[in-house]
Amino acid sequence: MSDAAPHVWRATPHEAETVAELLVEFRDHIGRDWPSDNAFHAGVERMLERNEADFLLASAADGAPAAGVCQLRFGFNLWRAGTECVLEDLFVRERARREGLGAALVTAALERARERNSRWIELDAYEDNAPAIALYERFGFVLGRSGGRREIVLARSLDDPR
């Protein structure tokens, strides 16, 4: 582990390529081959230019190249009566793991959510990703429960006409 403290910052539109490259690595890491590299690059550029999301980048030290990323999206939630934050796509390059970048990204995400006056932050993780779940639990995240019932995430593509 390095003696230097991890450095986290909000990505600017000029860093869209770095963000996209890290997200492409994440896509490959989880065994997917879509969206394409070009789609990631175009999508990140769009989201940064339109201020549709915040992307946080992390490096082992100030001035070092980015080796971690996460995406934050914000919106009003009626059930929370306020802004909520969705933390997505937290990824740290394999060679940079165990250096505190994941924890630094979660800390920065919580700070950014508070800056945006979010009342709630949520995320999802693969149930077999024990290291990620342990990281999130260290920061107080818990499996969703409502009225004693477990909450699960269901999704579908709107490209399918069904």
Spell out the per-residue pLDDT of the chain, length 162, in tens: 556 899 999 999 999 999 999 999 999 999 999 999 999 999 999 999 999 999 999 999 999 999 999 999 999 999 889 999 999 999 999 999 999 999 999 999 999 999 999 999 999 888 889 999 999 999 998 877 666 777 666 565 667 776
Number of domains, the chain? 1
Whether 71 is covered by a domain: the verdict is yes
Whether 108 is covered by a domain: the verdict is yes
Whether 13 is covered by a domain: the verdict is yes
Residue 24, both tokens: 């492409």
Whether 125 is covered by a domain: the verdict is yes
Residue 21 CA: distances (Å) to CA of 17, 25, 56, 61, 132: 6, 6, 13, 19, 21
Domain span including residue 131: 7-150
CB-CB neighbours of 76 under 10 Å? 10
pTM of the full structure: 0.90
CA 131 to chain centre: 15
117 and 81 in contact (C-beta within 8 Å)?
A: no
Whether 2 is covered by a domain: the verdict is no
Whether 43 is covered by a domain: the verdict is yes
